[in-house]
Amino acid sequence: MIDTTLWSKLRPHIVSILLVLGIAITVSYCLSESDWVPQNYAHNSAIALGLLFGFALSLSRFRGRTAAVYSMVLSVATAGELIGQVIQSTLSPGPPSDMGTLWFMHLRLMTLIDRMDGWRIAVFRDETIHDVGFFVFLSIVVLWNLSAWLVWSIARRKHALEGLLPLGILLAINNHLSDQSTFAMLPFITLGISLIACTNFTFQNADWTARSVDHPDDLGLEWGANSFAIAVFISLMAILSPLFATPEGRKGLSDILRPVEELTAETAGRLFADVNPPRADSGYPVQGLEVNVIGPPPSQSRETIMWVQISDPTPSPTDSSGDQSPAPQHYWRSSIYIEYTGVGWLITEMPPSHESKATTENPPPGRYNLHQRYELVSQPQGSLFAVNMPVTMTVNDEVIALQFDAVLPQIDRFEYEVTSWAVDLTVEQLSNSTIDYPPQISSHYLQLPESVPQRVLDLTNRITVGAESPYSKAVRIETYLRNTYPYTLDVSSPPPGRDVVDYFLFEAPGGFCSYYASAMTVMLRAAGVPARLVTGYAMGEYEPANNAFHVVASDAHAWVEVYFTDYGWVEFEPTAVRMRFERSSSAAVGSRSDLRITPPASSTNSRRELLILGVFLISLYLLITGIRWLTRPREASQHAKIFSFYRDIRHRLAAMGYRTSTSTTPHEFLRIYNSDLRQKPILFDALSQATDLYVAARFSHKPLPVSQVEHVQHLWRRARSQRMSLWLRWVFDAPTRFSQYLFHRIRGQQD
């Protein structure tokens, strides 16, 4: 049920509220069209939360300066949360059992602090800031406070023009810099003028009513003092519009402002180096994914690359509910990258293996023979494809035994078969694997350049602290990356000379598979766990008609393989939008059905955003309500309650035909309709007592007894049936009143 007191307060301002929402939508649309940071909609949250917070502040008893400080502090905290996702990241599929939620929040908070410290250092050193998060952070703070100021100016200061000017200036600057049409400002101007006029009339009318000033109900809009302001506002816009609407005007204005533009351009270029206009990066070749220099996004082409048949059980047909049982997850590996350069990866010489050539007989514990048949659509470029640990390759019926941990040779063939020792390991097996790594593994797969920033190493230590086994470290890092960083293709290339992993972890608005895999590999190596980045293609979609997996160019992928002494290389998936490998905790060995995949974390992004927004709004409402309840005197609340209650009674009686002029006092109203209302004793008692309480509250500062106010409200509720009978009588008498009205009109015309 809606609180009648709150509704009675909001009802006169419904039009103003709708106009404010229209202005907010206009500003949000223009900012979205500017596309300063691709696929970032934090400005929408900032505007919405700022409006709600401004409304909550207007209901509080805070003074202007206190409200301004409170708004600034909360906007900074909200901007930090939207940038750092300290709370939001914990709403994803939870962290590992040995990593508590509070510790996970601590990791995100420390990462945010490191990121903001980087901003501080760059500003004081006059260095270029390539982190678009700095721009997003400032935009959230500015939009939040301008939106809150708009509502505060209307509700508290009763001057809509004061609230509109800062937002209008910001919108004009945004539209000018983003080269938007001048007509984009017209909705804002129209809605703004309407809001100024509407709020002026609303508050003027409320003031007259409060002071019992007699005025007709259909008086209309009295411009008053704001009429001049509205005229000046319109005139200024008309005078200035040629400056923006014509080439000559824009050129003249540009010449005048050129010194200022040159001064600000240098500062903006340094602080917001990677803010759009967006760059048109070309995708990778459709044949594969290159990570020598990480930057451009992968191709999104649907061009067919190959068809793959495997010996694993195929996915079952979709049932009536739309569900389909998953098949074991495999990736078609092509290239293995060993050396990290800070900007990408290099394929260096593979470390020598002391093992003899493998065979398909007697797979080691935790592995099984997986047979694959590849049919390539185009001439292969680079190494051929195989799952994890290939042991034999068949070409033209010739079986070739392969060295352990080898990539397939380059051959001029479109069809071939491979047998691999695929992974079928449990959590228990991986957790108990020894850490006595062979020298050739440690020397190659723990390599890191000295240029890796210290904050990357510090973050790794925070994530893996207390993790006892390499498997625990791998799962912690994998989970942290999946739950923390959004997947996006619209990410600018790392700035020249910057470490790509540091850029992804602390500055980029997100990334794609190359970033995720690079970060996990570097962090594992920093934690003392051998790891490598591998590329190839994801599994693709299974097509029953061909009994094969259809792999297209957009399936190009990079992932991570981690070395376990007892079992060799095992795949991990840190990219948020890809399926994560989940292994059974059972000690059973060799059961391929133990391998399962879970939905990607990104499928819950919208639900997470709605949940965090709901929690924030509820917390904000409870906070403001609690402050109002603690700071508002008890007697003041009773005075406000009886004022609202009496006005509601008079409004309902007026709807039943009991009307008088606004100059009629409450007791005069009671005497005028005394004989008629006395026929309804309960209703008359409620009106009589409410009148006495209203007059006492209006002309006396003494507190009203709570019991009397509650008793009058109880009487009014008891009189519901009597009020209904009065209303029905008013409805049934409508024809009589109409005929009398016509009679008097005709009589008046004859006279």
For 601-634, the pLDDT digits (tens) are: 444 444 555 666 666 667 666 666 665 555 544 4
- Which is more confidently placed, 415 or 314? 415
* 582 and 661 assigned to the same domain: no
Provide the token pair at 739. 């005929």
Same domain flag for 692 and 586: no
Of 12-21, 138-147, 485-494, 668-677, highest mean pLDDT: 138-147
Note the pLDDT tens digit of each residue in 419-444.
998 888 888 889 888 888 888 888 88
Q: Which conformational region is residue 81 in: left (phi greater than 0), alpha (psi within -120 to 50 degrees), or beta?
A: alpha
> Last residue of some domain: 598, 621, 642?
598
Instruction: Give the confidence band of 91 by pLDDT, cuts at 50, 70, 90.
Output: low
In tens, the pLDDT along 495-517 reads 888 899 999 998 887 889 999 99
Choose the final residue of a domain: 598, 613, 641: 598
**By residue range, what is the domain housing residue 394?**
304-316+326-598
> What would the pLDDT profile of 636-648 be if each residue is shown by its tens digit?
467 778 888 888 8
On the question of pLDDT at 88 being above 80, the answer is no
Q: Does residue 640 fall inside a structural domain?
A: yes
The CATH number of the domain where 456 resides is what? 3.10.620.30
Same domain, 167 and 30: yes
Does any domain span residue 604? no
Query: Is the confidence at residue 564, as pLDDT, over 90?
Result: yes
| Sheet with 568-572, edge to edge strand ranges | 332-337, 531-537, 556-564, 568-572
pLDDT of 736 strictly over 70: yes
Max avg pLDDT among 208-217, 251-260, 644-653: 644-653
Residues 466 and 332 in one domain: yes
pLDDT mean over 275-289: 48
Please tell me whether residues 248 and 153 are part of one structural domain.
yes
288 domain residue, yes or no:
no
529: pLDDT strictly greater than 90: yes
Shared domain check, 660 and 525: no
509 contact partners, CB below 8 Å, separation of at least 6: 37, 38, 39, 40, 132, 133, 136, 486, 488, 490, 491
Return the minimum-mean-pLDDT range out of 86-90, 488-492, 534-538.
Answer: 86-90
pLDDT at 231: 42
> Comparing C-alpha atoms, which of 448, 257, 262 is closest to residue 338?
448
Rounded Cα–Cα distance for residues 270 and 198 (Å): 43
Q: Quick one: 546 and 691 in the same domain?
A: no
Q: Residue 286's pLDDT band (boundaries 50, 70, 90)?
A: very low
**Parallel, antiparallel or unpaired: strands 390-395 and 367-376:** unpaired
Most confident of 89-98, 354-363, 398-407, 686-695: 686-695
- Check whether 563 has a pLDDT greater than 90: yes
Asked if the model's pLDDT at residue 586 lies above 80, the reply is no
- Among 80-84, 263-267, 620-624, which stretch is predicted with the lowest mean pLDDT? 263-267
Predicted confidence at residue 38, as pLDDT, reads 66
User: If pLDDT is split at 50, 70 and 90, which confidence band does 280 have?
Assistant: very low
% of the chain beyond a pLDDT of 70: 73
Query: Residues 620, 623, 625, CA angle at the centre, nearest 5°?
Result: 105
Are 564 and 637 within one domain? Answer: no
What pLDDT does 461 receive? 92
DSSP 341: -
Look at residue 227 and tell me whether its pLDDT is greater than 70: no
Kindly give the interhelix angle for 470-484 and 513-526, rounded to the nearest 10 degrees. Answer: 150
Domain count, the chain: 3
Q: Is residue 294 situated within a structural domain? A: no
Average pLDDT, the chain: 77
Instruction: In whole angstroms, give the CA distance from residue 422 to residue 428.
Output: 18
pLDDT at residue 324, as a whole number: 47
Tokens, residue 126: 């006059």
Q: What single-letter amino acid sits at 224?
A: G
What pLDDT, on a 0 to 100 scale, did the predictor assign at position 355?
56
Residue 19 confidence (pLDDT) above 80: yes
User: What DSSP state is assigned to residue 304?
Assistant: E
| Cα torsion angle, 286, 288, 289, 292, sign | negative
pLDDT of residue 378: 75
Crossing angle of helices 14-34 and 160-177, in 10° steps, is 20
Residue 477 has pLDDT above 90, yes or no: yes
Full-model pTM:
0.61
Q: Which two tokens stand for residue 314?
A: 């195929």
Q: How confident is the model at residue 80 (pLDDT cuts 50, 70, 90)?
A: confident
The pLDDT, as a whole number, for residue 608 is 54
Distance CA 520, CA 531 (A): 9
Percent of the chain with pLDDT over 90: 14
Residue 265: pLDDT over 70:
no
Q: Is residue 432 part of a domain?
A: yes
pLDDT at 89 exceeding the cut of 70: no
H helix or E strand, kind and range, residue 374: strand 367-376
- 533 with 637, same domain: the answer is no
Q: What is the mean pLDDT of residues 278-305?
A: 67
Looking at residue 339, its pLDDT comes to 92
Q: Are residues 255 and 127 in the same domain?
A: yes
Which one-letter amino acid corresponds to residue 649? I
Q: Quick one: pLDDT at residue 448?
A: 92
Per-residue model confidence (pLDDT) at position 530: 94
591, 717: one domain:
no
| Helix, strand and coil percent figures for the chain, each rounded to 5 | 55, 10, 35
CB atoms within 10 A of CB 88: 19
Query: Is 486 a member of any domain?
Result: yes
Residues 432, 569 share a domain: yes
Domain membership of residue 321 (yes or no) is: no
The pair of three-digit structure tokens given for residue 478, joined into one six-digit string: 């994998």
Statement: residue 411 has pLDDT above 60: yes
Is 612 within the bounds of a domain?
no
